[in-house]
Amino acid sequence: MSERLQKEKDPRGKRESFHALNVPSSSEGAQEYTAPEITPEIAIETFCEDAREPVCDNLKRYCREWQRKKAQIIELERIILTLPIIENQISLRGLYEVMLPKMQQELRQIEWHIRRLQHCLELLEQQKIFTKPADIPGHIDVSTLKNRLDIVDVVSRWVELRQSGRTHKGRCPFHDDRSPSFVVYPENKRWWCFACSEGGDVITFVQKIRNCGFREAVVELQRL
C-alpha cells in the first residue's frame, strides 16, 4: 500500500487536511466497521477544528502499521509453504501455522481502526461547510436555515397539502398513498407519514424526495 498522501487546502486557511490514498480493503473474514448513526448536525456539535490533525495523524500511523503487518503475513505464508509437513511432531512449520491466524486477526483490527478514522474524517469534511456560526463566507448555518424555512411551503412543492386544524395533510409521496397519511406540523417544523412510520425535518424530506445526501439537500434549500 502506498503511503503517499494527498494534501487539500482547508478553505478556512487555518491548516491543511489530509486524505490517505489507497487505504487497504478489508481482509477476507474481517469484521467491517459499522459507522454509528451520527448526522452531520451532531458532528458539528461534537467535532472541533482541532480534531482534524490528530485524526489524520492516527490514520497515517494505522496505514503504515497495516503495510508492515501485511508484509509480515505475506512473508510468513511464503516461509510456511517452503517447510516440510511433519505429522505428530512439533515442527517449525506447525509453530508458524499457529502464529498466522493471530497475525491475521491483528491485521483485521488495524483495518477496523482505519475504517473508524475514515468515518471521522468524513464527518470533519462535512463540518467544513456546515459549521456554526455562519460567519465564514460560503458556510451554512443549518439551524438558522431550518428556522428560516417554512416547512409547509417546502413540502408543498412536491405534495398537495390541505390544512387540517394546526396541521397540514396530504398523500405521501414515498408510497402509493390512496388516503392522506402524510402530515406536516408547522409548529415544530416536522413531517410524519403514518403509513410509512417515517418522518423528519425539512432537510430529511428533501433528502428523501430528491434521493440525495445531507450536503446536497442543504445546498438546495439554501437557494430557496
Average pLDDT over residues 160-172: 93
| Residue pLDDT, tens place only, 105-125 | 998 888 888 888 787 777 666
pLDDT score of 88 more than 50: yes
Half-sphere CA count of 50, side-chain side, radius 13 A: 0
> What is the Cα–Cα distance from 126 to 114, expressed in whole angstroms?
19
| Residue pLDDT, tens place only, 178-216 | 888 999 999 989 999 988 888 889 998 999 999 988 878
| Sign of the C-alpha dihedral computed for residues 155, 200, 41 and 35 taken in this order | negative
Q: What is the mean pLDDT of the chain?
A: 75
Is 142-222 a CATH 3.90.580.10 domain?
A: yes
- Residue 142, classified by CB atoms within 10 Å of its CB into exposed (0-12), middle (13-18) or buried (19+), is buried
pLDDT at 128: 56
> What is the Cα–Cα distance from 17 to 206, expressed in whole angstroms?
30
Q: Is the pTM of this model over 0.85?
A: no
* Every domain range in the chain assigned CATH 3.90.580.10: 142-222
